[in-house]
Structure 1
Amino acid sequence: MNNKVNQDSINKALWAVCDTFRGTISADTYKDYILTMLFLKYISDVWQDHYESYQAEYGDEPELIDEMMKNERFVLPKAASFYALYERRHEPGNGERIDQALHAIEEANGTKLKDAGKSVFQDISFNTDRLGEEKQKNDILRHVLEDFAKPELNLKPSRVGSLDVIGNAYEYLIKNFAASGGQKAGEFYTPPEVSELMATLLDPQPGDSICDPACGSASLLMKCARKVVENHDSKNYALYGQEAIGSTWSLAKMNMFLHGEDNHKIEWGDTIRNPKLLDQNGDLMLFDIVTANPPFSLDKWGHEDAENDKFGRFRRGVPPKTRGDFAFVLHMIETLKPKTGRMGVVVPHGVLFRGAAEGRIRKQLIDENLLDAVIGLPEKLFYGTGIPAAILMFKKEKTDSNVLFIDASREFKSGKNQNLLSDDNIQKIVETFNARESVDKYAYLANLEEIQENDYNLNIPRYVDTFEEEEEIDLMAVRKERLQLKEQLVALEQQMDSYLKELGYE
């Protein structure tokens, strides 16, 4: 089987597992069970695959093989394997056994599946009444174990080869949950092509520290990491993130574990109210790259404590009580390293032009020469909202005082319910960003004076003229065509009359 067939069949089989839950619990709840079981099945298959390869090499020497298996990147206790659970699926107590297996995996792998005492599986329990009473729950979990035991979901590396099957499967599931779950599920998901665009624009280098303060399932962070590997054949980077929703934080940790991203620190907590990424002095950590797709216009973001913020993040102004967009922007700015710091953040268009407190903050950021570019994206790119968004690029050490405006809002690939950015769309944005020159009807390099003349309003149409002149209409040609059509109509009516007479109709 080729990779494409493998991935497609795996994705379809995974989505079919959801049928076991549908009608019993909501998608927002069962996504956690599906993703956690996928995690368990994958590490069990990797473990089994490696065990069998040692068996082939050394024969039936269980003690020697057990010793060899201690060199694996993770530890899988025998009773915690998916296959041990599958063998006992017809017995009562499936939920309890699965929970015990997850706990055993957590304990056996030290800090890899924990952060500051919080465990990855803390918010998920298969032994819960949410899956129904004991018999119904046991039956549902038996079906789930059987679904994951199907040949299509054999995730052994010897079968799937070099394909990033688990990364693709995670992305596929999360994307589908976001598409069907609306805004709530969309909170933790940045479309892959937007992550790709932002990671390419930020151009992570070996040695960079990379942070996402609203990291969701960590797809954007890992996309940045992949750029260092792809472009520089290096894994010399450090990943940092913070996520407010406990179950989504767990997803991020599992995602990191599955991708072998051991050099990371993902904290659980509210970034604005309680930033957790601090240095040894208790100050905000500083990073080479800071990037995020924060929740749009978050209500109740922590306005009441902002005035007395001990980190001084709101010295440029306190954002409005019911719109937290600039709260995230200001937090991110404060965590940039003074020389190498660069930043990309997704914002709703209102951030570009709204007045009052937001207008004052915007003016301050521009006057400090921190804003590097404004990139307008197409509508319907993000799950849970149809509104178009923009990417703001900031840089600590700019070589000029200009701001590049790019209007990419009309260039996209139409999907069924969502629009997509094609590879060509992304490449055009990146090339324009790097060239830093005006492009007719697409980009404009504005100087500080022009922005000041516009009262620091960053609305893209003020800078990029996309007006297309309509073709001049030749009224005489239109009149001539109209007269010809009238003559044709008269001739057709006369012909119709003659046919009717022949048929005996007067």
Structure 2
Amino acid sequence: MEKTKQDYINSVLWQACDTFRGKIDSSIYKDYVLVMLFVKYLSDTYKERLEEHTKRYNGDQKWIKRAMSRERFILDEFSTFDYIYSERNDPEIGEIINKALEHMENENTGKLRGVFRNIDFNSEAILGKTKERNAMLKTLLEDFAKLDLRPSVLEDEDIIGNSYQYMINMFASDAGKKGGEFFTPPEVSELLARLMKPQENDRIYDPTCGSGSLLIRVVRQVSSRKVAVYGQERNGQTHSLALMNMYLHGIDDAKIEWGDTLANPLHLEDGKLMKFQVIVANPPFSLDKWAMGFAGEGSNNEKYKMEASLDLHGRFAWGVPPASKGDYAFVLHIIYSLAENGRAAVILPHGVLFRGASEGKIRKAIIKHNLLDAVIGLPENLFFGTGIPACVMVFKKNRKRNDIL
């Protein structure tokens, strides 16, 4: 039996992008391609398991149904790829896909609740008028119909996760300045993952997790994969991609929240910030207006000034970062989220090492509390769309030595 190989999947996916190229921006159509990959994989897996159970129970529907209800994901006949594909010539195909995704969420509320809420296959604003939209969706479905993603025919079990990752990498280089600077190149992710040496049963956290690639790298350092994974992402679409990314990499119990980590951190225990053994992050470089979320309803944003007292979690006692540069806001959030034996690695722009004013004050406090373990310079032009040199700052709680590497 012919195995489905990595290169083949990647090339079909890239071809699927041709359907949209020149019509809509890649930062928008990437979501459609990645969602379709997810749906196709879930469908093919479900189909194969159904065949196995049908054989095992000699077609006894009651037993088959019972066995299928224990599967990782449950699909009804109206949410399978095969059903959607059979309707590809229907004038309402966009709506049919939307309904299928809704079905999928409802059948798997524990896992997929809200995963597809930010994607609309029937959107005139994004995909154009009915005729063009339908033509695009039909071509997209025909591209994906070429793929056989049943687990038994895949070359190896990481292949789907790898393809998803490949697409995210390709889109980041495509997006240039817009999407590229928030994407962590695989080599840099690998560096952070190895520096952190995660152990079994560690809690691993990324406060600005994007599509989750950095977290997955860290998890892969632990051979048993027995770790607890936490992330938060502000952008709704990216949050959905992160959830799908986790499932495609076999991480089913990751807790990825949607919201502004600074103004509204969602990983709490007894109302206080949750503590983690390992934190990795590549926050947006020098984020302007980072404190917007603290501004309360009805306040005048223009005149609004961030103060340490506005933060319920007391993260800015050592100083409030400048309004136009959020770097140290993320650093302080991370330091305050470290467990007693916790360690963190954060990618930051070089300016954090020498800028003055409140940032200088915060730096002093971090060093006085002996939390900074190492500063690693990174070569320039590592990040898509921005040439600025970056660094990695490594923090450790309860350090045994005082010198900084």
TM-score, length-normalised on structure 1?
Answer: 0.74
Matched, 1:125 2:114: no
Q: CA shift at 1:295, angstroms?
A: 0.5
Q: How do residues 81-480 of structure 1 correspond to structure 2 at under 5 angstroms?
A: 81-114=80-113, 119-129=114-124, 130-150=126-146, 153-228=147-222, 230=223, 233=224, 235-280=225-270, 282-302=271-291, 304-308=305-309, 309-337=311-339, 339-404=340-405
- CA deviation vs aligned residue, 1:222-247 (integer Å, no higher than 9, x gap): 2211212x2xx2x4321111101010
Q: 1:417 is matched with which residue?
A: none
Tell me the matched-pair count.
391
Tell me, what secondary structure is at the counterpart of 1:195? helix
Q: CA deviation at 1:198?
A: 0.6
Note the alpha carbon deviations across 1:430-449, whole angstroms, 9 max, x for none: xxxxxxxxxxxxxxxxxxxx
Distance 2:363 2:26 in 1: 39
SS class of match (2:204): strand
Structure 2 residue aligned with 1:409: none
Q: Is the contact made by 1:113 and 1:257 (CA closer than 8 Å) also made in structure 2?
A: no
Shift of 1:63: 4.2
Give 1:310 deviation, angstroms. 1.8
Q: State the SS of the aligned residue for 1:289.
A: strand
Please tell me the residue identity of whatever aligns with 1:91.
D
SS at match of 2:241: helix
Distance 2:206 2:307 in 1: 21
Report deviation, 1:55: 3.9
How far off is 1:362 after superposition? 0.8
Superimposed CA distance per residue, residues 315-344 of structure 1 (whole angstroms, 9 cap, x where no aligned partner):
11111121111110011001111x211111
Q: List alignment gaps of at least 5 residues for structure 1.
A: 405-506
| CA distance in 1: counterparts of 2:75 and 2:220, whole angstroms | 27
Tell me how far 1:183 sits from its aligned partner: 2.6
Q: Distance in 2 between matches of 1:21 and 1:61?
A: 44
Amino acid at match of 2:110: T
Percent identity at matched positions?
A: 52
The one-letter code matched in structure 1 to 2:176 is G
Counterparts of 1:256 and 1:109 in 2: how far apart (Å)?
Answer: 15
Q: Distance in 2 between matches of 1:208 and 1:161?
A: 31
| Unaligned ranges ≥5, structure 2 | 293-304
Residues 305 and 356 of structure 1, relative CA distance in 2, 3 Å threshold: closer
Q: CA deviation at 1:189?
A: 2.3
Shift in alpha-carbon separation, 1:57–1:187, aligned structure 2, 3 A = farther
How far did residue 168 of structure 1 move?
A: 0.8
Q: Distance in 1 between matches of 2:33 and 2:45?
A: 18
Residues 277, 284 of structure 1: 8 Å contact kept: yes
Question: How far apart are residue 288 of structure 1 and its match?
Answer: 1.0
Distance 1:37 1:356, change over 3 A: same
Query: Could you give the per-residue CA deviations for residues 51-97 of structure 1, whole angstroms, max 9, x where no partner exists?
Result: 22334444444443333222211111111000011011112211001
Corresponding residue of 1:466? none
Contact 2:306 2:320 in 1 (8 A): no
Task: Give yes or no for contact 2:181–2:386 (8 Å, CA) kept in 1.
Answer: no
Please give the alpha-carbon distance, in whole angstroms, between the structure 2 residues aligned to 1:2 and 1:207.
39
TM-score (norm 2): 0.92
With over 3 angstroms needed to count, the CA separation of the structure-2 counterparts of 1:273 and 1:187, relative to structure 1, is farther
Q: SS state of the match for residue 285, structure 2?
A: coil
* Equivalent residue number for residue 298 of structure 2: none
Instruction: Tell me, yes or no, if the aligned pair for 1:214 and 1:292 is still in contact at 8 Å.
Output: yes
1:454 is matched with: none
Per the alignment, residue 470 of structure 1 pairs with none
Partner of 2:70: 71
Q: Secondary structure at the match of 1:341?
A: strand
Q: Which amino acid aligns with 1:175?
A: N
Residue identity matched to 2:274: M
Per-residue CA deviation, residues 284-337 of structure 1 (Å, 9 max, x unaligned), is 111111110000111111173343212111111111121111110011001111
Q: Distance in 2 between matches of 1:342 and 1:306?
A: 27
Instruction: Determine the structure 1 residue equivalent to 2:300.
Output: none
- Alpha carbons 2:232, 2:256 under 8 Å: kept: yes
Q: Distance in 2 between matches of 1:2 and 1:366?
A: 58
The alpha carbon displacement at 1:156 in A equals 1.3
Q: Contact (CA 8 Å) 2:2, 2:153: kept in 1 or not? A: no
Amino acid at match of 2:135: D
Task: Name the amino acid aligned to 1:298.
Answer: L
Shift of 1:262: 2.4
8 Å contact kept, 1:86–1:145: yes
